[in-house]
A and B are shown apart, each in its own frame.
Chain A
C-alpha cells in the first residue's frame, strides 16, 4: 500500500469519527412537554428549549423574581408550543436579558423544576418600537 493511500484512509476515518462524535454529543431543541416526557422515560440529558419571556398586554414581564443581591433569578418562559414553565438559573441575570426577544435555555428538569445551566439571548437591535425614552 502506498503512503498516500494510508494517509487518505486515516484522514477519512478521522472525519467520520468527528461527524459521529458531533452527533453523539449534540443536544436537541425540544419543547417543555417533550422535555418532561424525556425525563419520564429516564433520559436526563440536557436539552435546549427555545421560547420567550412571559409578557402581558402592556408588555410587562411577568413572573420574574430576582434573588436578593441579584446572584440568581427565576423567570417564566413560554416555549414555542405556548407552554409556560418556571426556569431557575443560578447565575446573575445576563446582560440584555430583559430586552431579549427570544431566549434559549439549556438545562434539564431537576425534580419538577427546570434548572438552566446556560441562557442564550437573541436581542433585537437594542431598542424596538415604542421604546424611545423621552
Chain B
C-alpha cells in the first residue's frame, strides 16, 4: 500500500538510517587510507539523508495542505479554514514538526560544511553532526523495537492514535475538519519565530562541533577563528528568535509584557547568555593565545544547555510549572539519553585531553581589559545559574523520586519578582564591566592615566542618571543603580566610539553592541518597572459587583459612541468590527447579516470599503468569523486622533476566549490597550417594554430618537407557495453619522403570523414588522430597546519601550559588524 503516510514513514526511517551511514563513513574517512573516497561516499550518504529529510517534511505538508484528516498530525494541528501561512506554521505546532525543523536546519548546516575544502575539521564536524542527526531523527522514528517505542511518528493514522468509538462502527471514518491551530499561535510571528529559534539551535551546533573536534583532533588553535564567527552568528540568530518570541508575547498575550520568566523562556535565555560568555572567552583566547580550557568548556556547554532545555520543555517534566511546554510524547527516555550521551562524550574528551590543552599560569593584571573581560564572563555565568538553578526544581524532584525519596519543592510563587530582582543586579554589573573592559581594551595601553579615561564617562553618567532619577522620578534603589550603570556603559563605550571616530577610520563593533545592550536595559527598566495603568476608574461607579475589585478599579467601561477620558486621551468606543478577506479595512458588525443555511455573511447595505464597492446582499467572506475587533478612537490634547483595534478571538473548539491587545506606538511610550470584557454573545439580552409606530413608505419617523425611514418592501417568497406570504422591509436608521439598516420580516403561513425581528447592536434596538395595513398603506412597527453596546478595556502605558527594541537593533548592528570584522581583519585593530 503506497499511501502518503507509508511513504512518509519510510522516508523517516531512511533518513535515520542514512544519518547513521554518513556518521560512520565520515568516521572511517578520518582514519582510512582512502580518505577522499570515503569522504565522497560519506558526502553522498549525507545528501541522501538530506533528500529524505526534505521528503519527510514535504509529505507532512502534503497531508496538512490537502486536509488529510485521517492522519493524526493534520487532524490535531490543522483545519480547513486555516489560511496557507497558518497551515505552514501548524507544521511546527507539534513536537514532531519542530524536531523536523531542527533536523532540517542541521541539514542546511551540513550542506555548508560539506562544500568547504576537505579538511580534518570538516570531517570531524560532519561526524559530530551525524551523531546529532541520528538522535534527532530517532525522535520522529515511530518504531517499536523489543516493546520499546522509539520516537513519535508524524504519520500515525487518527484511528491508531485515538480509540474513539466511531472507529468501531466505521473504520474508514475521516473527520470533516481538523481541530485547528491553537488561536494563540495564529499570529504572523508564529510563522517566523520558531524557524528562527531552531535555526539558532542548529547554528549552536557549529561552535560545539568545533570544540569537540578540537578535543578529538588534539588541535587547540585551529578552531578558534571559525568557532568565533559561528558563535557570533548563533548569538545573532538565537537573539533574534528570542526577541521575536518576546514581541509575540507582547502583542498576543494579554499579560501585558514581553517576558514572563516562564521555564520555556528561561530555557532559551540561559543558552543565549552562555553563547555570549563563550564568545567573549574566545575573544580572549584569540588575543592572548591563552584561556583555551574556558573557551572549550563554554562552547560545549552552550550546546549542552540547548539539549538540556530541549529536555526540559519536551519531556513533560515541567508540566507542573510551565504554562506552555509541550506535553509528554513518551520521549523523555530518549531525550535523556541524547542529553546524557553528549554530556558523557564531552566530559570524556575533556578529561582525556585536559593536560594537553595549553594554558598559562600568568596572573592577569587587575587593570587590564582581560581581567575585566574575565569578570564579565563569570558574571554572565552566575546570571545564567541564577535562572537555570530554580528552573530545574522539577528535575530535582524527579531525581529524588527516582531514588525512592520524596520531594515536594515547587518553583518560587512570584517568579517574575524572584528572577527580576536578582537579574537586575547582574545586569548592572555587566553594564559597568562592559564599559570598563572596552575602554581598557582599546585605550588602556596608551600610557595615559587610567583614571582620566573614566573621569568623563563617570561624570556624564552621574549627571544624566541623577537628573533622570530626579525628574522622572525613579524611586527604587535597584532601578537607580541599573540606570546609572547603563548610562556609564553608554558613555564609556561611547567614548571609545568617539575616540576612534576622531582619530582613525575604525569602528569598535563591541562598543556598539554594548551601547545597544545598555539601551535595552534602560528600555526594560522603564517599560517594565514603570508601566502604569491609565484606564483607572475615576467615575466612582462600580461596573459590576460580581467583578473582582481590580477590574472595577483599573478598567474603564465605554458605552458605544460616548466619550470618556482615559489618561490624557478622549476615548470613544465605535463598535465591533470584522476583517474581510481581501480588504485592508474592517467592516461594522451591524452591516452584515449571518445566513445560517448558507453559512455565509451578506451585506445589509451598499458599502464603499477599502477602494471597493460592495452592493447590498453581496456575500462577504470574513477572514475569521470568530475574531472580533473593537474599534476604539483616542484623541489627545492636541487633537491627534488614532484608532486601536484590540482583538477578541472565540475558539469554538475549546469554548475559550483569547483577548489580544492593540498597541499605539509613540516615540516615548506605547499605549497598550486590551479588552477585559464585553457583552457575552451567548447571554440573553434583557429588552425593555415594546413601543409601536404606524409609518408609511418613505415617511420619516423617529425610532427611539433616531431619524428613520422605510426604504424598501420586498416580497420574499416565490409565487408558487400559495399558503405562505413573506415580506421584508428595509428600514434606514440614521445615527452616529452613519446609516444602519434593519430588515425585519413578516410571515403568514397557514393563517399563522410569524415575525422575525432585526437587531441593530450598536443602537441597542430590536425592530419587528408586526402588521401591514393595505388600506392605509401603513406598516406597524414594534421596537424594543436595551442597554447600549459597551466594552470594558484596560489601557496601560509602557514608557520608553522603544529603547528596548532600538537597543536590540544597535546590539545586532554591532554583532553583524563583528562578523564582518572577523572576515576581514583591520590592520590597525589591536
The A interface is mostly helix, strand or loop, or mixed, namely mixed
Query: Which positions in A face B, CB cutoff 8 Å?
Result: 2-4, 7, 11, 14-15, 18-19, 21-23, 25-30, 45-48, 50, 67-72, 90-93, 95-99, 102, 104, 106, 117-118, 120-134
Chain A residue, CB-CB nearest to B325: A122
Kindly identify which residue among A2, A120, A128 contacts B323, using a CB–CB cutoff of 8 Å: A120
User: Given A69-B546, A125-B76, list of 10 further CB < 8 A pairs?
Assistant: A3-B371, A18-B385, A27-B413, A29-B409, A95-B654, A98-B655, A98-B656, A122-B320, A127-B179, A132-B164
Is the C-beta of B605 less than 8 angstroms from some C-beta in chain A? no
Do A93 and B656 touch across chains, with their CB atoms under 8 A apart? yes
- 29 A-B pairs within 8 Å (CB atoms) are namely A3-B371, A7-B378, A11-B382, A15-B385, A18-B382, A19-B389, A22-B389, A25-B412, A26-B412, A27-B409, A27-B411, A30-B408, A47-B410, A48-B410, A48-B413, A68-B546, A91-B548, A95-B184, A95-B651, A95-B657, A96-B654, A98-B654, A98-B656, A123-B327, A129-B162, A129-B164, A130-B164, A133-B175, A133-B653
Do B410 and A29 touch across chains, with their CB atoms under 8 A apart? yes
B357-394 residues at the A interface, CB under 8 angstroms: 363-364, 366, 371, 374-375, 378, 382, 385-386, 389-390, 393
Is the C-beta of B680 less than 8 angstroms from some C-beta in chain A? yes
Chain B residues, CB < 8 A from A130? 164-165
Chain B residues, CB < 8 A from A22? 389-390, 393, 412
Query: Which positions in B face A, CB cutoff 8 Å?
Result: 76, 94, 158, 162-166, 175-176, 179, 182-184, 319-323, 327, 329, 363-364, 366, 371, 374-375, 378, 382, 385-386, 389-390, 393, 408-413, 418, 422, 544, 546-548, 550-551, 651, 653-659, 676-677, 680, 683
Do B677 and A71 touch across chains, with their CB atoms under 8 A apart? yes
Q: How far is the CA of A67 from the CA of B382 in the complex (A)?
A: 46
Do B548 and A71 touch across chains, with their CB atoms under 8 A apart? yes
Kindly identify which residue among A18, A67, A134 contacts B547, using a CB–CB cutoff of 8 Å: A67
Chain A residue, CB-CB nearest to B392: A22
Do A3 and B366 touch across chains, with their CB atoms under 8 A apart? yes
Chain B residue, CB-CB nearest to A30: B408
Do A128 and B162 touch across chains, with their CB atoms under 8 A apart? yes
Do A132 and B413 touch across chains, with their CB atoms under 8 A apart? no
CB distance from B293 to the nearest CB of A (A): 13
Q: How far is the CA of A93 from the CA of B184 in the complex (A)?
A: 15
Do A72 and B547 touch across chains, with their CB atoms under 8 A apart? yes
Chain A residues, CB < 8 A from B659? 92
Do B411 and A121 touch across chains, with their CB atoms under 8 A apart? no
Chain B residue, CB-CB nearest to A26: B409
Nearest 4 CB-CB pairings of A with B: A90-B548, A48-B410, A27-B410, A25-B412
CB distance from B173 to the nearest CB of A (A): 8
Chain A residues, CB < 8 A from B327? 122-125
Chain B residues, CB < 8 A from A97? 656
CB distance from A111 to the nearest CB of B (A): 16
Do B323 and A26 touch across chains, with their CB atoms under 8 A apart? no
Do A120 and B321 touch across chains, with their CB atoms under 8 A apart? yes
